[in-house]
Amino acid sequence: MKRMMIALAATGFLAAALPASADEALFKAKGCVKCHDAEKKKKGPAIKAMSAKYKGDVGKATAVVKGKDHPEVDATDAELKKLVGHAVGAK
């Protein structure tokens, strides 16, 4: 029984980890890493700073990314929502 509980817990942990790594891969693939870093400011703000500023508000953060002051991102609306959600820590 104890082994089964450990296996179930490990499976849940892995399933929870997969979307984050997929989001991170998309973040890198779409070129966001050229201007954004996890901890420190590059050309654009750090992911940590964006997360604190928008506190999971994907709509508000997406509007900024789609705004005229942000370089154009080659991503579909669904990808953009996923990218922004990853950056601002949306649940």
pLDDT at residue number 11:
37
* Tokens encoding 54: 């928008």
For the chain, what percent of residues have pLDDT higher than 70? 76
* Mean pLDDT, range 68-81, rounded to an integer: 86
Q: pLDDT band at 12, cuts 50/70/90?
A: very low
* CATH code reported for the domain at 21-88: 1.10.760.10
Confidence of residue 20 (pLDDT cuts 50, 70, 90): low
**The model's pTM:** 0.66
Tell me the domain boundaries of the chain: 21-88
Higher local confidence (pLDDT), 21 or 14: 21
